């Protein structure tokens, strides 16, 4: 880089491991910041950003560099639950200049408990994350969270749900804390869409049996999205959900939750709680048969399993809806496969004409 003012007035975003994510509108794939930043940013801004990650405190300083005075602003981005730094923003400019407002960056911490009766997948958001998504934050101090299956099914845009699920699978199956970056689209509260970029790592130092994933999400402008997004093509599974004239759902058999539903699934009158946890959605007497069908579907990919007749909790809270479920195993990421695409139809009642 030539000249000491190449990045003056541009906000720089680093993750907590000091890998470069963005400089102004330019996006980076987690590279070392030193080769990419100008000399002034390297000399006076990076040390202050490192200090902010240590003491977790925003700072504004006026510093001198080679006879010139510069104002710097640094803003650590903290996890909503842990309070630990997950990223840091920094900007510098001439001492007399007014720095631009920082870009909107939200933090998230995703907690995944082991499979079992009380299994949970929750994504805790900072207040800024709600602003990034264009969704009003719930009242109260927080931290606020989404159940991950609900977030994937209702917030992530239809054409991106399968690919985002692949990213989540990578997070859960990897044993290192390698940085993962992914661009996608999400629904806003007013019915529109926003282009987003998430960057995060699995916390391999977290004690206990729970898995923690931590990172940030930022908005992309249209130009940045067009240049950097390589994951915008819907998968065959996404296309199936868009085109389906029957109720479909996708089930993760390892954690036993429904994480995707087609538009016509709602016509079944089946409750879709935020957690989407099958043991709490299915009648206890029918759960063994449903599990057996799902196990068969994942054991023999490409061969339909079922149908099996089960009772699922009713959306109106009044009793159960009897449905027939046919499943076919799918591979999203890793082995052995543990995802099943299911066709769900209302069960024919005795004496009713054949459909």
316 vs 23: CA distance, rounded Å: 50
pTM for the structure as a whole:
0.85
Q: Tell me, what's the pLDDT at 222?
A: 54
CA distances from 340 to 23, 69, 120, 157 (A): 41, 61, 19, 20
Binned at pLDDT 50, 70 and 90, residue 141 comes out as confident
Residue-wise pLDDT for 175-207, tens only, equals 889 999 999 999 999 989 999 999 999 998 888
Q: Tell me, what's the pLDDT at 174?
A: 83
Q: What percent of the chain has pLDDT over 90?
A: 67
333 vs 28: CA distance, rounded Å: 25
Name the strands in the sheet holding 180-187, side by side, starting at the edge strand that comes first in the sequence: 144-147, 121-125, 105-112, 211-219, 193-202, 180-187
Q: Tell me, what's the pLDDT at 233?
A: 44
293 vs 300: CA distance, rounded Å: 11
Q: Is the pLDDT of residue 336 over 80?
A: no
21 vs 29: CA distance, rounded Å: 6
Q: Is the pLDDT of residue 335 over 70?
A: no
Helix, strand or coil for residue 224?
helix
Instruction: Produce one character per residue of 21-59: b if its CB has 16 or more CB atoms within 10 Å, e if not.
Output: bbbeeebbebeebeebbbbbbbbbbbebbeebbeeeeee
CA distances from 143 to 138, 187, 212, 275, 321 (A): 10, 21, 15, 17, 35
Q: Retrieve residue 273's tokens.
A: 């709680």
| Section 64-82 average pLDDT | 93
Q: Tell me, what's the pLDDT at 191?
A: 87
Q: Tell me, what's the pLDDT at 350?
A: 59
Residue-wise pLDDT for 142-157, tens only, equals 789 999 999 999 999 9
Residue 176: DSSP 8-state? S
Which has the closest alpha carbon to 50: 10, 72, 18, 82?
18
Q: Tell me, what's the pLDDT at 234?
A: 47
Name the strands in the sheet holding 26-31, side by side, starting at the edge strand that comes first in the sequence: 26-31, 20-23, 12-15, 85-94, 68-78, 59-65
Crossing angle between the packed helical segments 236-243 and 161-173, to the nearest 10 degrees:
140
Q: Tell me, what's the pLDDT at 245?
A: 80
Q: Retrieve residue 248's tokens.
A: 């479909």
| Section 335-340 average pLDDT | 83
Q: Tell me, what's the pLDDT at 354?
A: 46
Residue-wise pLDDT for 100-116, tens only, equals 999 999 999 999 999 88
Q: Tell me, what's the pLDDT at 169?
A: 86
Residue-wise pLDDT for 254-304, tens only, equals 999 999 998 899 999 999 999 999 999 999 999 999 999 999 999 988 899
Residue-wise pLDDT for 45-58, tens only, equals 999 999 999 999 99
Instruction: Tell me the average pLDDT of the chain.
Output: 88
Binned at pLDDT 50, 70 and 90, residue 223 comes out as very low
| Section 4-20 average pLDDT | 88
Q: Retrieve residue 224's tokens.
A: 């940045």
73 within 8 A of 96, measured Cβ to Cβ: no
């Amino acid at each position: 880089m030539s000249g000491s003012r190449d990045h003056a007035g541009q906000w720089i975003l680093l993750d907590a491991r000091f890998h470069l994510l963005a400089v102004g509108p330019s996006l980076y794939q987690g590279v070392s910041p030193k080769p990419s930043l100008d000399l002034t940013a390297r000399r006076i801004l990076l040390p202050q950003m490192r200090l902010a990650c240590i003491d977790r405190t925003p700072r504004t300083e006026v510093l001198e560099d080679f006879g010139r005075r510069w104002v710097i602003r640094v803003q650590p981005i903290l996890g909503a639950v842990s309070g630990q730094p997950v990223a840091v923003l920094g900007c510098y400019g001439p001492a007399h200049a007014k720095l631009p407002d920082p870009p909107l960056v939200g933090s998230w911490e995703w907690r995944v408990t082991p499979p079992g009766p009380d299994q949970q997948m929750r994504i805790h958001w900072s207040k800024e994350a709600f602003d990034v998504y264009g969704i009003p934050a719930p009242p109260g101090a927080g931290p606020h969270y989404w159940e991950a299956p609900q977030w994937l099914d209702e917030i992530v845009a239809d054409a991106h749900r399968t690919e985002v699920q692949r990213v989540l699978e990578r997070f859960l199956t990897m044993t290192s804390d390698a940085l993962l970056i992914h661009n996608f689209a999400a629904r806003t509260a007013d019915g529109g869409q926003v282009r987003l970029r998430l960057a995060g790592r699995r916390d391999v130092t977290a004690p206990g049996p729970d898995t923690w994933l931590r990172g940030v999400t930022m908005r992309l402008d249209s130009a940045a999205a067009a240049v950097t997004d390589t994951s915008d093509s819907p998968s065959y599974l996404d296309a199936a959900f868009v085109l389906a004239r029957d109720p479909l759902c996708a089930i993760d058999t390892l954690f036993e939750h429904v994480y995707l539903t087609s538009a016509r699934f709602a016509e079944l009158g089946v409750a879709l709680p935020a957690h989407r946890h099958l043991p709490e959605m299915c009648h206890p007497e029918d759960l063994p048969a449903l599990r057996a069908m799902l196990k068969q579907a994942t054991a023999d990919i490409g061969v339909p399993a079922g149908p099996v007749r089960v009772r699922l909790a009713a959306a109106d809270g009044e009793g159960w809806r009897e449905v027939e479920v046919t499943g076919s195993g799918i591979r999203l990421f890793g082995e052995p496969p543990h995802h099943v695409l299911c066709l769900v139809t209302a069960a024919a009642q005795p004496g009713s004409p054949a459909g």
